[in-house]
Amino acid sequence: MWKKGEMVMQGRKILVRQSCMPPYEEYIEAIRPLWDSHWLTNMGKYHRELEKKLQEYLEVPELSLMVNGHMALEMAIQMMEFPEGAEVITTPFTFISTTHAIVRNKLEPVFCDVKESDGTIDETKIERLITEKTAAIIPVHVYGNVCNVEEIERIAWKYRLKVIYDAAHAFGVRYKGKGIGNCGDAAVFSFHATKVFNTVEGGAVSVPRNEMYERLYNLKNFGIRNEELVVDVGANAKMNEFSAVMGLCNLRHAVEAAEERKRRYELYRDLLDGVKGIRFFESREGTESNYAYFPILVGEGYRTDRDGLCRVLMENNIFPRKYFYPLTADQACFKNKYCRVELACARKLSKEVLVLPLYADLDRGAVEEIAEMIRDPFGR
């Protein structure tokens, strides 16, 4: 078995993610005015500023900040006013939030298989799942891999369906020269601490029209328009000022951080290219990646299975993640309701995928040591 390398001898844990944070002094100085104003929430100065800057950065017509990515997805679904019990075609190869947001809106998820090439929803299998109850499609740009947005749009137009993209992994991704948030009727981003851009907790919905932005404003703020007027039944999904300031600070460093992740991503590719049994997802032509994740697929021909490799890494203080295993459709909370749904490719990927540590401050030496363990898991 492997002898512990230098980073492990020093007691360092290499986690799959490390939160991107600005310099301490920069954030402290940025929040200082909050002690003078005492304006901590309710769409204050920094909330409004971050909303505007993110709209520009993501190149979208309208953008509404939310308290987190999950509530952003719930609000985006509620905005569409689907009838209770309507069906939503979606992917099981995603974080559980995607499915929960559908179910919590009293809608029925209809799971479509994914493509082995990139893990995104298999657009060739969508039409066969459409019924008279189908109201929408919620695909996921998984690991920042862009869905076949052109074909999904064609299907949506043909059957008059809404499309809400879960773009939680796709912050800063551009496709064919445009921000990915321009696709569909809405796109939802997550700014959770583990994402490439974070506001500690946060999220946003991008939409094409101002009336949709106004509807989202109502939904996230109890429907309140002024001290005496409530025009809608809403929730409390607003982002606070401390989170907004963190976002403004992190946004200043977003391009630099993406470049640092790209260097580590490309180093992984170079070091692992050609390893028997290790495969990579394909990137859709025309995509400008955010290099948010480095997933590998551990398949036939490798010296152990995915779980075996995961154990080797964890025994050496390296903590990858099995994103996404089990599938959301197979989670215990659904009590085998979807166990007979044909999801052969998604289930295969879920047993093979392993997301390796990747973040802007990850040492080059750590990448090299992780790659060496993968090349020779039972060496030394």
pLDDT in tens, 221-280: 999 999 999 999 999 999 999 999 999 999 999 999 999 999 999 999 999 999 999 999
pLDDT at 379: 80
- Work out the average pLDDT over 63-88: 98
Taking residues 275-288, what's their average pLDDT? 97
Write out the DSSP string of 313-376: HHHTTEE-B-TT-S-GGGSGGGTTTTTTS--HHHHHHHHHEEEEP--TT--HHHHHHHHHHHHS
**3-state SS of 239-280?**
CCHHHHHHHHHHHHCHHHHHHHHHHHHHHHHHHHCCCCCEEC
Confidence of residue 380 (pLDDT cuts 50, 70, 90): low
Instruction: Encode pLDDT of 56-70 as tens digits.
Output: 999 999 999 999 999
pLDDT of residue 10: 55
Rounded average pLDDT over 139-163: 98
Q: What structural domains and CATH numbers belong to the chain?
A: 6-21+253-375 (3.90.1150.10), 24-251 (3.40.640.10)
- The CA–CA distances, whole Å, from 329 to 13, 74, 96, 254, 281 equal 32, 18, 9, 34, 22
Condensed to tens digits (0 to 9), the pLDDT of residues 5-28 reads: 554 435 689 999 999 999 999 999
- The predicted structure's pLDDT at residue 12: 82
Output the CA angle 173-194-346, nearest 5 degrees: 70
The answer to whether the CB of 19 falls within 8 A of the CB of 362 is no
Q: What is the pLDDT of residue 4?
A: 47
